[in-house]
């Protein structure tokens, strides 16, 4: 019976060690190697998220004519937050968000967040601090839109299609997931970043 238990132990150990051994000495803890399809798709998703934040930053900064007209750009004196926050009209935090609309310190924090998160995800650096910051930003925007409300304050349809899950929540989950999986190591500068003094402070 002891021999059978040992054999089973060897078999179980072998089954666990085989994937790591197949990856070689340079295998990452999560198995996200640049030569694997999964690793490359993680990198594509990470870069796409980063570029989404960067686009939002530059659109609000220069007014590229999509969500922000040039006349309302930040460099033209517009506020990156006023248009969104001033129209918050449902939810328990309505007064709070409307009070933040257009304040210079809020504008600066929002724009720095967009730029920092965008650069971090595009380059694959500071993934953890950026993922947490991005998730907090997305959840605040979720609370501002308050998808649980079916009607606006005037009784019109709010446009919400799901009372809980919207794209802000999906973005937040995606960012946290990519940070957990170490997606910055594939087509990114995560390893180089962690070798720097700043990278050890902001992983």
- pLDDT digit string, tens, across residues 88-116: 999 999 999 999 999 999 999 999 999 99
Instruction: Please give the model's pTM, rounded to 2 decimal places.
Output: 0.81
- pLDDT digit string, tens, across residues 133-164: 999 999 999 999 999 999 998 899 988 999 99
Domain edges within the chain? 34-201
Whole-angstrom Cα distance, residue 46 to residue 42?
A: 6
| Res 34: pLDDT | 52
Whole-angstrom Cα distance, residue 29 to residue 20?
A: 8
């Amino acid at each position: 019976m002891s021999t059978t238990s040992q054999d089973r132990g060897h078999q179980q150990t072998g089954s666990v060690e085989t994937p790591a051994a197949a990856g070689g000495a340079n295998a990452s803890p999560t198995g996200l190697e640049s030569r694997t399809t999964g690793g490359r798709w993680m990198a594509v998703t990470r870069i796409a998220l980063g570029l989404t934040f960067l686009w939002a930053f530059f659109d609000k900064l220069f007014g590229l004519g999509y969500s922000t007209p040039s006349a309302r750009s930040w460099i033209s004196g517009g506020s990156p937050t006023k248009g969104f926050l001033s129209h918050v009209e449902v939810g328990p935090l309505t007064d709070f968000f409307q009070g933040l609309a257009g304040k210079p310190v809020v504008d600066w924090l929002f724009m720095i967040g967009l730029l920092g998160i965008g650069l971090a995800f595009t380059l694959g650096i500071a993934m953890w601090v950026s993922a947490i910051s991005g998730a907090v930003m997305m959840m605040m925007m979720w609370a501002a839109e308050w998808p649980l409300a079916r009607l606006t304050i005037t009784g019109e349809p709010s446009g919400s299609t799901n009372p809980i899950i919207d794209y802000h929540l999906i973005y937040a989950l995606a960012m946290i997931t990519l940070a957990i999986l170490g997606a910055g190591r594939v087509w990114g500068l995560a390893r180089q970043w962690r070798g720097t003094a700043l990278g050890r402070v902001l992983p």
